[in-house]
Amino acid sequence: MIEWGLVGRCLRRWYVVVIGLLVTAAAAALIGLAPGVYWARTQVLLLGPPSESRPNKLDSNSEGLIATAGLIEHEMNVGLHPIPATSPDVTLLDEGVYDGEQVRLPNNGGQWATNFNQPVLDVQASGPSRAIVQQRIDGMVQEIEQILERRQDDAGVSPAHRITIALSPPEMQIRYVRGDARRAVLVTGALGVSLTLTFVTLVDRRLATRSSRKERQLKPVLMEDVPA
């Protein structure tokens, strides 16, 4: 159903419509041509030394290892303010970080509770190139190793009783992620047209109000000029 009042406003304020459509077209073009980002994730597992009761390092899920992972996370995030995730599956890209890095101790308790039940550090990086992402992941893993070694050196832990790390998966995969360009352009176009029409209505009402005010101010003057 055609809103003839809106059509009339668009015809009267055609210049506003033209400007709005040009801005919308430019924004849609920029979004449609925007490049994707590279992203990678790996998990750093903290492994305790094997013992008679736990001969398998991968079965060393003690509270001490989890606490150590928490200390490493805290040290690496000093001065930073990472966004708390409600799920371990949340990625940097989900949080809108397209050029950055993150080390996080996964919280398996959900949105309303905390449950750190695994000695695992979630390491993620995003960036404009594959090389940058690879460099960031390698740098964070190396820093985790250095912090772990330094803390164990300071505590005087013997080599046979040291915590070690392993990566999961062993071979990291760097992915190129790009959104649906067609959908993004359509959404941008719809939003731009909607904002343009809204702005046309506001401009038309303001100019109409100003014109009406001037007419009311001129009317007494014209009445005075009329001969009695």
Which segment of 75-79, 109-113, 158-162, 220-224 scores lowest on mean pLDDT? 220-224
Residue with the larger pLDDT of the pair 222 and 213: 213
Q: Are 137 and 40 in contact (CB under 8 A)?
A: yes
Read off the pLDDT of each residue in 44-58 and give the average, rounded to a whole number: 72
Query: H or E stretch including 38?
Result: strand 37-47
Taking all residues of the chain, what is their mean pLDDT, rounded to a whole number? 81
Grouping H, G, I as helix, E, B as strand and the rest as coil, residue 46 is strand
**87: region left, alpha or beta (phi > 0 left; psi from -120 to 50 alpha):** beta
Contact residues for 92 (Cβ-Cβ < 8 A; gap 6+)? 39, 98, 100, 101, 102, 124, 125, 126
- The residue that leads in pLDDT, 1 or 22, is 22
Per the rule left: phi > 0, alpha: psi between -120 and 50, beta: everything else, 110 is: left
Q: Is 152 exposed, middle or buried (0-12, 13-18, 19+ CB in 10 A)?
A: middle
| Beta partners for residue 167, in sequence order | 44
Location of structure tokens 């038309």: 204
What burial class does residue 125 get, using C-beta atoms within 10 Å of its C-beta: 0-12 exposed, 13-18 middle, 19+ buried?
buried
- Average pLDDT for 22-26: 88
Average pLDDT over residues 133-155: 94
Q: What is the pLDDT, as a whole number, of residue 36?
A: 81
* 19/62: higher pLDDT: 19
Instruction: State pTM to two decimals.
Output: 0.65
Helices and strands in the chain, H and E counts: 5, 5
- pLDDT at residue 147 above 70? yes
pLDDT band at 137 (very low <50, low <70, confident <90, very high): very high
At 103 the pLDDT is 92
Per-residue model confidence (pLDDT) at position 180: 61
The answer to whether the peptide bond before residue 106 is cis (omega within 30 degrees of 0) is no
Mean pLDDT of 176-201: 81
- pLDDT for 80 equals 72
Amino acid 1: pLDDT: 47
Look at residue 96 and tell me whether its pLDDT is greater than 60. Answer: yes
For residue 182, what are its two tokens? 């067609």
Rg (CA), the chain: 31
Give the lowest-confidence range in 19-33, 119-133, 200-214: 200-214
